[in-house]
Amino acid sequence: MARVSHDPSSRAEEEGWSQGWWAPARRCPSPNFGARPAEARIDLAVVHSISLPPGEFGGDAIERLFTNRLDWDAHPYFQQIRGLEVSAHFLLRRDGALLQFVSCDARAWHAGRSHWRGRDNCNDFSIGIELEGLEGERFAPVQYRRLARLLRALARRYPLAEVTGHEDVAPGRKHDPGAGFSWPLLARLCGWRAEGRVLRCGT
């Protein structure tokens, strides 16, 4: 008879997790991260959208930005963000390719000034997921499928309770992923309940 392990670390390895890194994602370590507060409960995922330059897809500019290797002189727009040091835990490309920049056990620099349900500094307790796309525009069907798979994996590994957009943790300052993102579709793919732009994980 097969031996059943009740060791959480063993279960994580079986599901593809190792020290906060998920095996199905291509690992691209970013220097832009820090430790989470000791009492942090990772119970929120924040969905973003990004394209560099805005509206242009493909290429490696996003990856270079998150790893501090972007050539600021390669495009006029890059002068507007020159010196910016940011990251996210994950990036989902238009073709569904998934990259991971920061261990989910660590604090990525994705939300900036933010607030959610009485708590400031969402980076402390959230996981940031960037979708390659333009705020207000539509996203690719494969991105929804891969995002749903990722969210379900995160909910099995962490005490994830809700998923929402950057525009909702930083209202007025940020507007992504925007009106083109379908929260009802993501809810159906996850098997969770959507309440406006909020998904209730596991319900």
Higher per-residue pLDDT: 89 or 11? 89
Considering just the CA atoms, what is the radius of gyration of the chain in Å? 17
Q: Which CATH architecture has domain 27-200?
A: 3-Layer(aba) Sandwich (3.40)
Distances (CA, A) of 157 to 74, 120, 151, 168, 197: 39, 24, 10, 24, 23
In the beta sheet, which residues pair with residue 45? 127, 163
Reported confidence tier of residue 13, pLDDT bands at 50, 70, 90? low
Pairing state between β 33-34 and 44-50: unpaired
Using one digit for the tens of pLDDT, what is the confidence trace for 157-169?
999 999 999 999 9
pLDDT at 1 exceeding the cut of 50: no
Give me the mean pLDDT over the 114-133 stretch: 97
Which positions ≥6 away from 103 have C-beta within 8 Å?
19, 20, 21, 33, 89
Which positions ≥6 away from 188 have C-beta within 8 Å?
none
| % of the chain with per-residue pLDDT over 70 | 93
Using one digit for the tens of pLDDT, what is the confidence trace for 15-51?
799 999 999 999 999 999 999 999 999 999 999 999 9
Choose the catalytic residue: 130, 132, 135, 167: 130
Domain ranges of the chain: 27-200
pLDDT recorded at residue 5: 40
Active site residue 130: yes
Give me the mean pLDDT over the 114-138 stretch: 97
Distances (CA, A) of 143 to 19, 20, 68, 194: 25, 22, 25, 18
Using one digit for the tens of pLDDT, what is the confidence trace for 184-195?
999 999 999 999
Closest CA to 156 of 11, 6, 5: 11
Closest CA to 124 of 40, 28, 13: 40
pLDDT recorded at residue 105: 98
**Out of 10-24, 132-146, 189-203, least confident range:** 10-24
In whole angstroms, what is the distance from residue 80 CA to residue 65 CA?
13
Average pLDDT, the chain: 93
Helices (H), the chain: 8-14, 61-66, 141-157, 166-169, 183-190
